[in-house]
Each structure stands twice: as structure tokens, then as C-alpha cells.
Amino acid sequence: MGIDEARKRALELKSLIARNDRLYYVLDAPEIEDHAYDALLRELASIESDYPELLSPDSPNIRVRGEPRGEFRKFTHASPMQSLDNALDLSELRGFYGRAAKSIGRDDLEWVCEPKLDGLAVSLVYRDGVLETGATRGDGTVGEDITRNIRTIRSLPLKLLGEVSGVVEVRGEVCMSRDDFAELNRSREESEEPLFANPRNAAAGSLRQLDHRVTASRKLSIFLYQLMDAANFGVRTQWEMLLRLEEMGLPAQRSRRFCGTLEEVEAYLAEWDEARHENPINTDGVVVKLNDLSLRTELGSTAKAPRWAIAFKYPPEEKRSKILDIAVSVGRTGTLTPTALLEPVRLSGTTVQRASLHNQDEIDRKDVRIGDAVWVHKAGEIIPEVLRVDLEGRSAESVPYKIPGNCPVCGAPAVRLPGEAAVRCPNKSCPAQLQEGIGHFVSRQCMDIDGIGPKLIAQLTERGIVKCAADLYSLRAEDLAELDRMAEKSSEKLIGAIEDSKMRPLGAVINGLGIRNVGRKTALDLASRFRGMDKLIAANEDELSVIEGVGPVVAASIAAFMGEEHNRMTIERLREAGVNMEEAGGAEDPSKRSEFFSGKKFVFTGELSMMTRAEAEKLAESLGAKTSGSVSKKTDVVVAGLNAGGKYDRAVALGIDVWDEETFLKRVKE
Ligand code: IVH
């Protein structure tokens, strides 16, 4: 294509893209499929890469680069999704009650109390009984269309029970339980992903995923509390409304109560304040709603909130306790972590006796001292935390707390590296580090050796039987049988489990080594890139940095680990014991060589949902492709997952083929 033709086509493409942008973002009426739209963008990008002089400031490819891509479609609510006024104590609640009673001219009002679930408000539209749309609240008037994500919530029926014709709109709250939140964060921690601050954020983050398969993997629940235009369904009260929702097969708000008087409302508030801690989902208050729908119309709304309902908010739970002592534990990498040992106190349904103080900076900031009276709470109703010191109760003799200058376990002088918050024990043979390190080595994410718990590890290390992970492979059943509480049978079973672990994949072995700053995800990436332990040992920092997620700090810490004689010795002994040191299936299988993949250069970027990036790379390589960590002119295909960033932009700018995960998997199967 000559430059004149290219200029003409570029103009055409820009106007086509602009028209489709408007249809999609403004008019909510797209005419073409996403992939056809992407093809337009790509065609333009390739022209712009061939003729950089045609790259003008109004190019949609420039807009794409800096900003997130168009996300969800907008959804305008049939009627605004209002919020609620709050009552922060009983006198504010009574004020609300008084105003309603006065306005209606009656003092015998009936109420429905419902827990105020701490989640995300959504509106659902069913047409002729079938779920048509799910949308977030947004600014109350316009929300986001999250239908594909909402549909993944198992408890939500896609079809209503019974014969329901026309449009039914219902509203409610999408939530995540405390347990599911904790589990999600645990797995994110293992794969070095950022943690969610609380269950509400986790629910919101999961629901607003562009890839609904990610939403599907999160455990969300939904509870409905509102049926719009309820009168059309012969419903006259809130109580009937909740029953009607249930008749339609919808999960309605639970733990609700009908209250005939203000006293009954207050009794419910007191009861729920206790019971809410047993509820799997966080609730920070109770919504008190006038039962009679026609009286609600009489009361009406202010600009922001209805006058017929109020959210009673429980004060954040803070209790006084006392710092009895500060214990310092030593972690796998030698980090000394201070923990406050507290006078037992009941908080959000459990007895709390310990709270992490994190590090010296945190202790200094709060000026926490042994013997101090303190206020504690549970962050996100889960993690105990010392909020602040009650200075009035401080004794004159108290002194600022300093983390000991020596390791509490081995006595080695502790060090604090520049730029780090943590103080560390530098002694590689510190028994505490050794025990934690062995615990990590045998854990599920690493060598997955069943039957070795902390007590057994303590015995093995204290008796000097195990001095490094490699020693596990020289254990004999007789050695174990001598230990406390080890029966012959379980000794043999354990030896069998240790033997089996020799075949774990290379990524698990690398993870098991316990290299600082290298978690499971990085370990898998390292295994898939270097394919053998020797290549990893020999890699310099530049070669390591090619891997996505390995910056200079991680690269330096891998190089430092491999530079230490005793670490290389452990690896050698593991190898001699027969532990796998190669990435299986690494060599390309000629029978699987695919015509398309063969010899092509692939780059994977962003979060994939069906597999890890390392697995996807392995798959592409098994078909004859080459994979790389960086995008260049020589790259043939970039497979972009969620939150793909710079590499995606570069691929677009260079006019390289960009696939989503689905396309990749389709081509693999071809
Ligand atoms: S009724 C106009 N009932 O609280 C009435 N809201 O502060 C609108 N919420 O946006 C809401 N549980 O996200 C209602 N049982 C409940 C609720 C509830 C939680 C949330 C909802 C709403 C916010 C208002």
C-alpha cells in the first residue's frame, strides 16, 4: 500500500472507529462485535507503524495506550438507586421514628428490620421470567452492565419460578463471606498478587472483572431486598415483598424481623449486634424499613434518600486491652516479627490474645510499649490490630519498645538492611529459620510432603538429624521411629511421601528453596524460562530480568541466593538424592508440532484465567513456538490476558497480532 492509499484508509478507519465508539459508549447500541472492532484498531495500528507520519494525535491507538480500555457498557436505571440516611445511635433512630410518625399522623407504625449487608448494591432485570440484565448502582442513575458476571453467581436463578410475564426488576446486595475472603487472599498471597482490604472490596473487585470467568472462580453470594413496582404484584408491605421474592425463587434478605413497635426494633438492634458476628457475611448495621408501602409513598424521599427507611450503624467495635508482652518470632527468611500478647478480649465474636505489630516503624508510629493500655479492633472484622495506646493509663516507668538487637532464637546480631522495614537474623543456620524453611519446603505449594508438621520438624532439627532440606532425603524409617509419637507405620508412610516428592515439577523445587522475594508464581515462571536448575544457577541478573515480574530486586535476590556456597550445596545434594531438576515436557514433542505455532515468537502478558502464564508458555513451546518476555518487531503474536499493560500497548503500536486467551486456546486445539 502506498502512502496515499494508506492515508485514505487510515482516515476511513478512524471515522469507523469513532462511530463505533459512540454507538458503544454513548448510545449503548453497538453494531459490531468486539473482535471486529479490535480488528479495525489493529489495522490502523499496522498502518501507523508502517507510516509513522500518519500517527496523529486523534488516533484511537494513542488514547488506548494511556487509559484503560472501554470497560463495561453503561446501564441507566429505570428509577434511581437511592442510598440511605444513617442513624449512628439510638437517639438518632428515635428522631427518625418521631419524624415519620408525626408526618403520617400515627404512632402505631410497623417496621421490618434487615441486616445491612456489607457488599455491593445491584439491580437485576428479568424479562418474561428470564434474567436479562444485571447492573451496578454506579452513581445511582447510571451504573455498569455486569450481566455476564452476575450470571456466574450460583445462587441466583437465571429463570424465575412460576409464570412471570413482563419486566421484573429486583435489587439487592452482592457479598463475599469472611471465610471465602480469607481463602481468596491466602491464595493471592501465594501467587504474589495484591491482597483485598476487606470482603466488600473483594466482592466489588470480583464483580467488576472484565473477564467473567474470573468472577466465576470467586465465591459470591447475592441477597435481594427490593422488588420494584411491587404494587403490580399485589404486594402491600415490605414483609410480603420479601416473601414474594422468595416465591419467585430469589435468595431474599435473611435474618429479617417484623417489628410492631419501636421497642421491638431496638430489641432487634441489640440482638443482632451479638448475632451478626456468627453471620458468615459482614454486616455493619441494620436497615429499618417502614412496612406499609402506601405509607412509604406518603412519606416520599429527599433528593438522596427515602424518608421511610434508615440505616442504623453499629459503632466500629473497639475494645480496651493491655499489652502483656511483645513476642518476637523469626520467619523463614530471618525476619523478626513482633507480636503483641494481649489481655484476652472479645471482639467480633472471638477471643483475641495476639495482634501483629508488623515492624519497628509501626511500633514507633503508635509508640506501643509493654504494659500499655491499648484500643484494639479487628480490621475488616477479621484481623486483630492494635489501634492506639491509651496514654492516660501509661505507667511512668514504661520505656519505648525496641525489637531486640539479637535474634531471639540463635542470638546472632540482627540487621536492618537499608530501605527495608524488617529487621533480620542473618544467620543462615539459625534453628528458627531452618525450621520455618523446612516447613516451607514440605508445604503443599512446594514438595507437598504429607505427614511432616512443625512438631516433627522441631524434633528433627533440634536433634541435628536434619540440617538442611536435602537431609530429608537421607531419613530412614529407623531414624523416625526413635522420635516421640512416631509409630512404625506412620514412619514408613512418611518415607514413602518423601520418596514421591522427588518427582515434583521444577517450579515446586525452586519454590521450595525459599529464595527471598520468590513466591510460587515467580518460581513457576523461572522453571518455564530456564527449564533446568543448572541454567537458573548460571543465569545472570540481566537474563533473570527478562521474566515478567522479575525486577532488579528479585533478580538480585536470586543471584545472591545462587551465589552462596551452602545453597548450591543443598541443591547438589537434592540432585544426588534424585530430586527432579528439569522441567518436564520441556523439549518440544515433534509429533505435536503445529504448522501455525512452529517457529513463531510468542509473548504472553497479563493475567490469564484458564492457566498460569508459565503453563501457557509451555503449551505454546510444546507446539514448536518460541516464547519471550519482551515484545519486539520480531514477535509474531502477543497473547494478552487481564490487565495487560505496556506489552499490549507496544504490540498494538507495532501492529503485532494480539490474541485473547480464548483465541489462543482455539488455535492450540486446531
Ligand atoms: S435498602 C432505598 N436494604 O446499603 C432503599 N439497602 O446505604 C435502598 N444495603 O445502597 C436500600 N443491605 O447497598 C437496603 N437490607 C438492605 C440493605 C441495603 C445493604 C446497602 C445497599 C444500599 C446501601 C444504602
Q: Which atom of ligand 1 is nearest to the CA of 137?
A: 10
Closest residue CA from atom 23 of ligand 1: 83
Q: What is the pLDDT of residue 538?
A: 93
389 C-beta closer than 6 A to ligand 1: no
Q: Which of 14, 116, 626, 647 is catalytic?
A: 116
The CA-based angle 26-32-33, given to 5 degrees, is 110
**pLDDT, tens digit, 9 for 90 and up, residues 349-404:** 889 999 999 899 999 999 999 999 999 998 877 889 999 999 988 988 999 999 99
402, 409 Cβ separation under 8 angstroms: no
Report how far residue 436's alpha carbon sits from residue 430's, in angstroms, rounded to the nearest whole number. Answer: 10
520, 511 Cβ separation under 8 angstroms: yes
**pLDDT, tens digit, 9 for 90 and up, residues 56-113:** 656 666 543 322 234 788 999 999 999 999 999 999 999 999 999 999 999 899 999 9
DSSP bridge pairs for 351: 346
232 C-beta closer than 6 A to ligand 1: no
Quick one: cell of 53? 507520519
Taking 50 as the threshold, does the pLDDT of residue 586 lie above it?
no
Name 87's Cβ contacts closer than 8 Å, sequence gap at least 6: 93, 95, 96, 288, 310, 311, 312, 313
170 C-beta closer than 6 A to ligand 1: no
Q: What is the pLDDT of residue 26?
A: 38
Helix (H, G, I), strand (E, B) or coil at 297: helix
121 C-beta closer than 6 A to ligand 1: yes
143, 169 Cβ separation under 8 angstroms: no
Give distance in angstroms: CA of 149 to centre of ligand 1. Answer: 21
DSSP bridge pairs for 373: 322
111-117 vs 283-290, strand pairing mode:
antiparallel
The CA-based angle 532-537-538, given to 5 degrees, is 100
Name 343's Cβ contacts closer than 8 Å, sequence gap at least 6: 321, 322, 324
Taking 70 as the threshold, does the pLDDT of residue 515 lie above it?
yes
Taking 80 as the threshold, does the pLDDT of residue 208 lie above it?
yes
Closest residue CA from atom 16 of ligand 1: 116
Report how far residue 83's alpha carbon sits from residue 225's, in angstroms, rounded to the nearest whole number. Answer: 14
173 C-beta closer than 6 A to ligand 1: yes
Q: Which atom of ligand 1 is nearest to the CA of 301?
A: 2
281, 178 Cβ separation under 8 angstroms: yes
Q: Which atom of ligand 1 is nearest to the CA of 253?
A: 15
Report how far residue 282's alpha carbon sits from residue 418's, in angstroms, rounded to the nearest whole number. Answer: 40
Report how far residue 136's alpha carbon sits from residue 100's, in angstroms, rounded to the nearest whole number. Answer: 30
249, 155 Cβ separation under 8 angstroms: no
Catalytic, 116? Answer yes
Best residue for ligand 1 mutational test, from 77, 82, 84 (most atoms within 8 Å of Cβ):
84
344, 377 Cβ separation under 8 angstroms: no
Give distance in angstroms: CA of 319 to centre of ligand 1. Answer: 28
Burial 547-566 (b: 16+ CB within 10 A, else e): bbebeeebbebbbebbeeee
The whole-model pTM stands at 0.61
Ordered domains of the chain (ranges, CATH): 3-62 (1.10.287.610), 86-313 (3.30.470.30), 319-393 (2.40.50.140), 431-503 (1.10.150.20), 506-576 (1.10.150.20), 590-669 (3.40.50.10190)
640, 606 Cβ separation under 8 angstroms: yes
Q: How many CA atoms lie within 13 Å of 353's alpha carbon, on the beta-carbon side?
A: 3
Give distance in angstroms: CA of 402 to centre of ligand 1. Answer: 46
Give distance in angstroms: CA of 83 to centre of ligand 1. Answer: 7
Q: How confident is the model over 115-135, as a mean pLDDT?
A: 93
Give distance in angstroms: CA of 116 to centre of ligand 1. Answer: 6
Q: Which of 25-39, 155-169, 539-553, 598-612 has the lowest mean pLDDT?
A: 25-39
Give distance in angstroms: CA of 105 to centre of ligand 1. Answer: 26
